[in-house]
Structures are given as C-alpha cells and as structure tokens.
Structure 1
Amino acid sequence: MSLQDQLMKAGLVSKHDAKKANKSKHRALKSGKKVINEAKQTAVEKREEQAKRDRELNAQRKAEADKKALIAQIKQLISTNSQDRSRGEIAYNFSDKGTITKVFVTEALQNGLVNGQLAIAKLEDSYHLIPTGIADKVKQRDDSYIVLVNDRKADTSVDEEDPYADFQIPDDLMW
C-alpha cells in the first residue's frame, strides 16, 4: 500500500488531489525534469553537515591528543636525562625570563654548564640539568622548556675594535 493510498484512506487527501499530484509528477518526468524529493534532499544536506562537524571535531581532538603526547615526550626526555645535583655546593646563577635564579651544582656540573655541554631546563617549577643534545631534542618539540644553553662558539668571536679585547672574562666568574 502506497503512501498516497494511506493518505486517502485516512481522509487527509481526496481522490481528486491524488490524481492531480500524479499528473504533475507524470508531466515532470515526461518533460525530463527530475522530481526532487525535498525530504531526501534535506536529509542528505543534514548528513553532510553532520559529517563536516564530525571531521572538524575529530581533527580538534587529534590535535589535542598530539599536544598531550608531545608534552609527555618532553617531560620524559627531561626527567630521564636530568643530572643529579643533590651534592651541589656551588651556586650557579642564570636568568630565567628576566629573573636571576640560582641552582646549586657540583664543580663538574658547573664546568659542563660553562663549556656548553649541559643545559638548564625548567619542568614544573623545578630546574633540571640535561645534556645539550637532549636540550636540542626538547627545543625541536617546544623551546619554552629550555632556560639556558651556553654556546661556546658564539663566545669565541672577538670584535677587532673592542677596547677590552685583551681583558677576557673568566669562565668561572660568579655574579
């Protein structure tokens, strides 16, 4: 039983209205025009919109998951490669975002920092000494975690006209 028959049986449509609808449908098919079912068209449009929203939401969730994974990688790199400075008695001063801060290190760790072999990273309000190679890996992911990396290559260049060129600053100068 077709929908048209059901509507006629329920008394919602007369026999005359049903014949009229059939004639207009037949004429449209004969003239080559497609009969567009509006309900189907709106359903298709709604499905397309929903699929688009789902894709956008999935992309946003994936970006958040990637960011969390990246932060986890950085934390693991810093925590597993952190040098033990529990026996440090020498204060090493450095600048962290305009604030002078100090950490206590051993003489070997101080030499490593001065020579550019070690870097200082900040993880959850604590400072960690990590090898420069690891600091480079962390910088590739997010450079905001690295506080200090001494580059010895940049310090070796001397300006020809510098009046204080003969007076070198010692590496172990404490300030």
Structure 2
Amino acid sequence: MAKSLQEQLLGAGLVDNKKAKAIKQEKRKKNKQVGRSGLAEEDAQKKARLERERLEKAERDRALNEKKKAELREREIQAQIRQLVNVNTLRVDGETGYQFADGAKIQKIYVDDQTVDALAKGRLALVRKGDSYAVVARPVAEKIAERDAAFVVVLNDGSGEKVDEDDPYKDYQIPDDLMW
C-alpha cells in the first residue's frame, strides 16, 4: 500500500508529529479558503444577478403602476364629462335644422329658433353625448373643454358681432339664422 508523503517524511525522521499536524492544518485552511473564495465569487455573481432582477422587476412594476394610474385618471375624466353633460343638457326640441361640422362630416340637429341664435352667438354649445349631441350652456362647455376638448363640437366665440371699421360691407349685416 502506498504511503502518503507525510507518513514517508515521518518514517524517515525528517519531520516530527507537531510539524506534520501544522502542515496538515495549513493544507486544510488553504483548501477551505479556495473553496470559500470560489463560493464567494459565485455568491457575488448570484447576488448581483438577483439585484439586477429585483431592480428590473421594480422598474416594470413602476411602469405598470403609472399606466394603471393614467387609465384610472382617463376613466375619471370621462365620468366627469358624462356627468356634466347629463346634468346640464338643455332640452331644445324644434323644427329648425342646425347644421354643423363634426370632423369631416356635416351633422344636423333640430332645435328652436332661439337656440340657433344662442349657438351662433356662443351662449350655448354643442357637445358629444354618446352617439348623439347635446346642447349645453357655454360655461359647462368650457369646463368640458378643460377636461377633454374633443367632446366640444361647437363653441362659437361670439366675436362675429364686432364690425371692422374699414370693412366696406359693414353696413350690410348677415343674419344669424341664415341657412345654406
């Protein structure tokens, strides 16, 4: 059977038992340190990877929360607009057709003559109400426009009443109820 180097040195008398134990302990310490440093290096890599994953997850969660908050704010604004329109809609049934542009299309609603005049002068406004339109007072339309201007379809400024002094046709007034 092969003897270890330590046993051979002891047998030859070159090393005593005390020195052999010290060498053995030294060797064990080195092996532990090498194992630990290898583990420490792996642990450091593992910790760094886990930290990166944690930060990435936190960033994804933050972005998702911002998106949810934005959607919630949008739903709140839509609800406020619906409530403003439902509460402040004026009942204006009539026989006079009022035509207006909604995007690229010309739409028509039937209202009375006083409403046509008020719409032309900007005292009343037309806003979207689902698939139809509603007539509301100017202050209500301005509140709706603050929240989402796309809901306000017609809101005249009423400045058509001011006449330019240099206008050669200033003496010829165009009636507000002129229908094309």
TM-score computed with the length of structure 1 as normaliser? 0.75
Q: How far does the alpha carbon of each residue in 1:110-134 deviate from its partner, in whole angstroms, 9 at most, with x for none?
A: 2322332110012322010011001
1:168 match: 173
**Matched AA of 1:50:** K
Residue identity over aligned pairs, in percent, reads 38
Name the CA shift for 1:23/1:167 in 2 (closer, same or farther; >3 Å). Answer: same
2:86 match: 79
Does structure 1 residue 67 correspond to structure 2 residue 74?
yes
Q: Distance in 2 between matches of 1:134 and 1:21?
A: 82
**Matched AA of 2:140:** I
Q: Work out which of the two has the higher radius of gyration on C-alpha atoms and give 1 or 2.
A: 2
Q: Which runs of 5+ in 1 are unaligned?
A: 1-16, 28-33
Higher helix share: 2
Does structure 1 residue 147 correspond to structure 2 residue 173?
no
Name the CA shift for 1:170/1:42 in 2 (closer, same or farther; >3 Å). Answer: same
Partner SS, residue 154 of structure 2: strand
Q: How far does the alpha carbon of each residue in 1:84-138 deviate from its partner, in whole angstroms, 9 at most, with x for none?
A: 13x3112122222243222111233223223321100123220100110010011
Is the 1:25–1:35 contact (alpha carbons within 8 Å) kept by the matching residues of 2? Answer: no
Partner SS, residue 175 of structure 2: coil
1:30 match: none
Residue 21 of structure 1 and its aligned partner are, at CA, apart by: 5.0
1:23 match: 33
Partner SS, residue 37 of structure 1: helix
1:117 match: 123
**Matched AA of 2:149:** D
**Matched AA of 2:163:** V
Number of aligned residue pairs: give it. 152
Q: Distance in 1 between matches of 2:53 and 2:35?
A: 26
Name the CA shift for 1:18/1:131 in 2 (closer, same or farther; >3 Å). Answer: farther
Name the CA shift for 1:18/1:124 in 2 (closer, same or farther; >3 Å). Answer: farther
**Matched AA of 1:162:** D
Name the CA shift for 1:59/1:21 in 2 (closer, same or farther; >3 Å). Answer: farther
Q: Distance in 1 between matches of 2:103 and 2:42?
A: 69
Does structure 1 residue 93 correspond to structure 2 residue 99?
yes
